[in-house]
Each structure stands twice: as C-alpha cells, then as structure tokens.
C-alpha cells in the first residue's frame, strides 16, 4: 500500500491518495474516519487500485484515521486501518493580515502588517504585480510581519498583496492591493524623515545589543534575576530568536515553568519555522504530563527539520510512553 497521509495536513485543493495491490476485479474503497466514506478506488492495472480525495473549500475535520476496504464478489470483506494515521483536513482559509502598510526609501519598499494571533498561521506570502488587477507573482514567503522589496525600479508603480498561509497551505482571501509609486520626487521628500528614522533605529539597535549582551553575561554567571530583566528589555526593543531562547533557559533555571511555556508559545507564533522552539515546548509539555500534545509539537518540529536527532528521540520516547 502507498499513501501520502503521513503529510497529515491537507488544505483546499490538496489530494489524499491511496494505492494498493490486491486481487483483480474486487471492489475497493477507503474512508477518512466518519467524515468522508466510500471513496472509490479504481483498478488501474492487474491487481492495482488507486483512489483520491481532493479537499474542497470549507472542508474541516481533525484526527481522521485512514480505513481501506476490500470486498470480493463472494462477499468476503477485509478492512485495513493505517496505523498512526492522524489526518487533518482543513479547507478553511486563514484570516487575512491586518493594516498592511508600505514605506519607500533608498533601500526599496518596506512592507509591514499585523495579524491576529493564531497558532494555525504559519507565515505570510507577499505577491507583486505591475498592474492593480490580473495575475500577481509570488515574491516571497516569510514568518515575519515585515518585508523589504529591494527590486522595484524608480518611475514605476508596484502593487502588493499580503496573504496569510496556514499549516495546511491555505492562503487567506485576496484583499485590496497596496499601490506604491516609486517616484524620484516622493523619495527625495522622505529623506529628512528617513534620516531621523534611521538614527532612531540605530539607537534602538545599540540599546538592544547592550541589553542582550548584559542578559547573556548574567545568565552565564547564573545571576538569573538580572539575566531575565536584561533579556526582557532587549526583546521589547527587538524581536530576536536568541533572546527568546535565553529567556526560556533563564525561566527554567529559576523554576518558572509556566512563564517558560508562555514565552515559547509567543516564540512559536513569532518564528513558526524554527524547529528548536517546538522541541523545547514539547519537553515542557512532556514534563507536565501532556504527552499527546507534546507529540503533536514534536511532529511539527520534525516537519520543519527531519534530521534533528533531538526531535526524533523525543518522538520515539513519547510514542513509547503513550503505548
């Protein structure tokens, strides 16, 4: 049997496929739990059967098990349950980013936006066009809430769309595009403001580096109270992966497990593609006895980095614990 259900998440337009080898001229079909049943499998060759289900807009179901049914003409009925299948069908589009904005300077177009915290959102897709309507080209995908396009030419107008993407690959609905004129006059008029912003940013960066350095030094000296204070100050100035990591290490060293969990939840929302946060979060859940949820986060981390030995070890350990 061959199937792609180990992919787990299936968004709108995604195809769940099942192929099996069996006796010729029998009836084969598969079920996705009780959500979708009697999905026909056609005979594609001698003893070869194949069936598919394509996720439709609005489909939504979780924790489905794949069941394969074989029915012979004489009435013999065999059922095969795919072990460890945990299928999530999600044909629902995520929420769109809020308040998209664009600013132009000598570097290019700085795009920024906000979004409602949602564990299902895995990033953002930036699309670009030279026309307000028609086809847009995918420019980039990012886990941040800002992006710099350094490619536009002066004297042109660029149009941008920013869309959320969830873990099943669904894109948020198309909203009105951002129209960004790249005129020489507009750029010159911004130069004084840009200089002030650059100076302010430089000052923020210096303060961030100062607090981050002091926090890490305090952590190494095991002065955990000071470390937590300095690192928190740094993180308020600038979102930073290493600051998140050191804050969690510090909170754990101080026995602040609840706060460490909250910090990791924020880190995962901010950096949904960093497998390290999933591994650390799973360990906390495991210590709290939340084994099933811990396994879910471990598997999310493995999808981001399948070669991480720590995640593989955790997955095996948790699976044995659950059994």
* Cα separation, 195 vs 215, whole angstroms: 30
- Residue 134: is it exposed, middle or buried by C-beta count within 10 angstroms (0-12/13-18/19+)? exposed
Boundary (domain end) residue, out of 90, 115, 136: 90
User: How many domains, the chain?
Assistant: 3
Domain of 262, in residue numbers: 189-322
Q: Is the domain of 222 the same as that of 313?
A: yes
Ramachandran sector of residue 19 (left: φ over 0; alpha: ψ -120 to 50; beta: rest): beta
Q: What is the pLDDT along the chain (323 residues), one digit of tens a residue?
A: 899 999 899 999 999 999 999 999 899 999 999 999 999 999 999 999 999 999 999 999 999 999 999 999 888 899 999 887 899 999 999 999 999 999 988 788 999 999 876 667 889 999 999 998 889 999 999 988 999 998 887 778 999 999 999 989 999 999 889 999 986 655 554 555 556 666 777 888 899 899 999 999 999 999 999 999 999 999 988 888 899 999 999 999 998 988 999 999 999 988 888 899 999 999 999 888 899 999 999 999 998 888 889 999 999 999 988 87
Boundary (domain end) residue, out of 67, 90, 113: 90
Q: Is the domain of 211 the same as that of 275?
A: yes
Q: List strands edge to edge, sheet with 157-166.
A: 137-142, 121-129, 157-166, 178-181
* Cα separation, 81 vs 3, whole angstroms: 12
Is 255:239 a contact under the CB 8 Å cutoff?
no
* Cα separation, 170 vs 11, whole angstroms: 6
Q: Is the domain of 208 the same as that of 315?
A: yes
CATH number at residue 149: 2.60.40.10
């Amino acid at each position: 049997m061959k199937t792609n259900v180990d992919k787990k998440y299936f968004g709108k337009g995604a195809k769940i496929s099942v192929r099996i080898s069996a006796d010729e001229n029998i009836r084969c079909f598969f079920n996705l739990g009780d959500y979708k049943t009697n999905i026909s499998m056609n005979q594609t060759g001698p003893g070869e059967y194949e069936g598919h289900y394509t996720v439709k807009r609005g489909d939504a179901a979780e924790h489905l098990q794949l069941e394969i049914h074989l029915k012979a003409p004489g009435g013999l009925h065999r059922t095969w349950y795919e072990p460890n299948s945990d299928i999530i069908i999600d044909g629902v589009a995520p929420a769109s980013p809020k308040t998209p904005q664009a600013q132009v300077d000598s570097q290019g177009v700085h795009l920024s936006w906000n979004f409602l915290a949602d564990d299902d959102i895995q990033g953002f897709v930036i699309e670009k066009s030279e026309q307000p309507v028609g086809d847009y080209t995918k420019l980039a995908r990012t886990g941040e809430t800002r992006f710099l396009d350094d490619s536009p030419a002066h004297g042109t107008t660029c149009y941008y769309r920013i869309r959320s993407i969830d873990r099943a690959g669904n894109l948020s609905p198309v909203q009105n595009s951002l129209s960004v004129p790249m005129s020489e006059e507009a750029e010159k008029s911004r130069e004084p403001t840009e200089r002030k912003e650059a100076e302010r940013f430089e000052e923020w960066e210096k303060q961030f580096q100062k607090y981050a350095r002091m926090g890490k030094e305090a952590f190494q000296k095991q002065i955990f109270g000071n470390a937590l204070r300095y690192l928190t100050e740094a993180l308020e100035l600038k979102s930073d992966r290493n600051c998140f990591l050191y804050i969690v290490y510090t909170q754990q060293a101080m026995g602040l497990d609840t706060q460490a969990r909250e910090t990791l939840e924020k880190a995962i929302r901010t950096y949904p593609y960093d497998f390290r946060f999933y591994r650390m979060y799973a360990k906390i859940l495991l210590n709290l006895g939340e084994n099933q949820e811990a396994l879910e986060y471990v598997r999310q981390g493995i999808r981001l980095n399948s070669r991480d030995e720590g995640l593989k070890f955790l997955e095996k350990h948790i699976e044995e614990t659950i059994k």
